[in-house]
Structures are given as structure tokens and as C-alpha cells.
Amino acid sequence: MTRALIVLALAIGAVAAAAPAPAAFSHRDHAEHDVAIARCETCHAVDPKGQVVAPGALGHAPCLSAGCHAKDFIATGAAARKADPAAYAKATALCLGCHASQDGTPPAPWSKPAASAVLESFRYEREYHVEMNHFEHTGRAGGDCRVCHVVDARSFALVRSAPGHAQCVTCHNPAKFPQFTMAMCGLCHDKPARAEYFQGTRPKVDVRACGSEGQAALAARGKHAEGCFRHERAEHRVQGGEPVQCAACHYMIGDQTRWGRRRYQTLLDLHVEPVIDNAQDREHKSCGRTGACHKADVDVARTGARCSLCHAEKSAF
């Protein structure tokens, strides 16, 4: 490597090392600066199709038009970096809070960088949770759960951003449902934060989805890997050429007559109550009926039935 290339590599490394951490957005911090966060429309806009537009997507409004960050948007150039490194670092952190950057520098003003970091910032609702009447929605969807729960055609995994605004807007728009549109953010998004609101996770249920919070909790409690059910299989997502609907196995979310003494209505109910059941061996019959994939695995008459494929060990409870 030539001396010039070495110097260039060290310079790039120094820039990356010195890059400030992205500035995470906080509603609370903005409230302390007299931003009316209770009025969502102050910052959140809705486009003509009813879809929510990311704050800042329209020429960096409202972050720029409010005047609060006006200096930050002009402190990202080479001249500002040399004249006022502190201001440049602050402005860079603001940019990286929304825009991804491979080298840790702000995106060029003439470019159109994807605001990919925004999705990560708000994906898990750090300050708010989302709540809805899930049972009412299953009725309105006519049992077609996959309208909202989108499955990737290759990996068979649920698409992480769905259900999301793209699915909600098909119904929650002025033409179809004017009494509850996407502009009414507070009807779904509310305090406290998700981690605080969704506490507890189905105690004494030993069948959990692979990769779920519950499966991770069981594995941690048992101090070793635990059996789990894998949704991400072609057989579990498609049957007879048609998509498998959630209620085909999670029947309690779509059939009020089978609720029993439990309550399955809101997202919180679904988070803490069992969503799979083996009363009267219903699920085993579904998975292990004649000709089904797991006939041998669930045959309790056979010695060594492979219960651990889906069930965690009782020692984990």
C-alpha cells in the first residue's frame, strides 16, 4: 500500500471513529422545549391517500420550519466542519438520527438518502405502545388475517413492518372510515412505552414461537435451548395453494364462542393469554392427523414421541 493510500485510509477511519452517535428522537425532550406533542398534527402529516408521512419527509418540515433546528441544517458542510467542529458534530448527530450513513457523515444536500434509520427509531415504540381491538378487526376482515399480517414469500417470515400504516390506511381513510382516520394518531398510539405496557408473557405455556420473546424467556429460565414452533415453513404458511390464516390454529382470536373464561380482545390480551391450545387434543389432531407431517411425532402411544419439537421442558417453568 502506498503512503497516500495509507494516509487516506487513516483519514477515513478517523472520520468514522469520530462520528457522533445518532440523535435518538424523544417526544419528552421536545415537550420540554414547548412542542405541542399532544397535538400529533403539529409534526405528523397525512398524504392525499391517507398514509402517514414521516416527520421531515417534506423538505425537513416541521423540524426546519419550527426554527429549532435551522442552524443544524446549514452546519453540515465542509466549511462549517472546519470553522465550528462542535456545531458540525451536533448537526451530524441530528442527520444520522433519521438517515443511514456508511461513513458517518451527513448525506449530501442534493442526494435523496433513504430515511431507513427512522424505521428503526420508531419500530418498537420506545415512548408509546400501540393498542387496538384485535377481535373486532378479525370480524371486519372476515377471517382473512393475512390482509394485515404480511408473510414474506421467500422466507415465510412475517414482514416486520406489518401490520403497519400501509395496512391500516386501507380502512382508516376519510372515504371508508371518516370517524377514525390515520390523522387520529392518539386512537392507536398511547403511553406508556411498549416495554412497560406489555409486561408478562403467557405464564405456564410451554409452546412458543421460535424467535419470540416468550421462547427466549423460557430458554433463559431453563438455561439451555428449548423446543419451539417454527412458523417460517412453507407447510405452516401455505396449504392447498392458499395462505394459512392465523385463526386456522389460533382459533380463539376469531371465534368468540371458544373464548371460555379467557378474554381475547385487545393486543394486551393476546400478549398475556395463551394463543395456542391443546384442550381435547385439538392442536395435536391438526398437526398429526393421518397424512399430516407430524403423525409420528405426536403419537403418544409411541415411545419417544418427539414432544420437544414444540414443547419446552417442564423444568423451564
74 and 160 within one domain: no
* Domain span holding position 250: 213-316
Q: Is-contact 46 174, C-beta < 8 A?
A: no
> Which of residues 86, 113, 140 is at a domain's end?
113
251 and 168 within one domain: no
86 and 34 within one domain: yes
**Number of Cβ atoms within 10 Å of the Cβ of 11:** 10
219 and 163 within one domain: no
The reply to whether 118 falls in a domain is no
The reply to whether 169 falls in a domain is yes
Q: Which three cell numbers stand for residue 188?
A: 392507536
Which amino acid is it at 24?
A
The reply to whether 166 falls in a domain is yes
Looking at residue 85, the DSSP 8-state letter turns out to be H
- Cis ω before 192 (30° cut-off from 0): yes
Looking at residue 204, the DSSP 8-state letter turns out to be T
Give the number of domains in the chain: 3
* φ/ψ (deg, to 5) at 144: -90, 75
Q: Is-contact 45 146, C-beta < 8 A?
A: no
Q: Is-contact 215 209, C-beta < 8 A?
A: yes
Going residue by residue through the chain (317 aa), what tens digit of pLDDT does each one get? 555 544 444 444 444 445 677 887 888 888 998 888 888 888 888 888 888 887 777 778 888 877 788 888 888 888 888 999 999 999 998 888 888 777 888 887 766 666 554 544 455 457 889 999 999 998 888 889 999 999 999 999 999 878 989 899 999 999 999 999 999 999 999 989 888 998 878 888 888 999 988 888 888 888 888 889 999 999 999 988 999 999 888 888 877 777 766 778 899 998 888 888 766 577 777 787 766 788 888 877 765 678 888 888 877 77
The reply to whether 121 falls in a domain is no
89 and 152 within one domain: no
CA pair distance 224, 215, nearest whole angstrom? 11
The reply to whether 158 falls in a domain is yes
The reply to whether 125 falls in a domain is no
The reply to whether 208 falls in a domain is no
* Distance linking the first and last C-alpha atoms of the chain: 59
Left if phi > 0, otherwise alpha if psi is -120 to 50, otherwise beta: which for 244? beta
pTM, to two decimals = 0.77
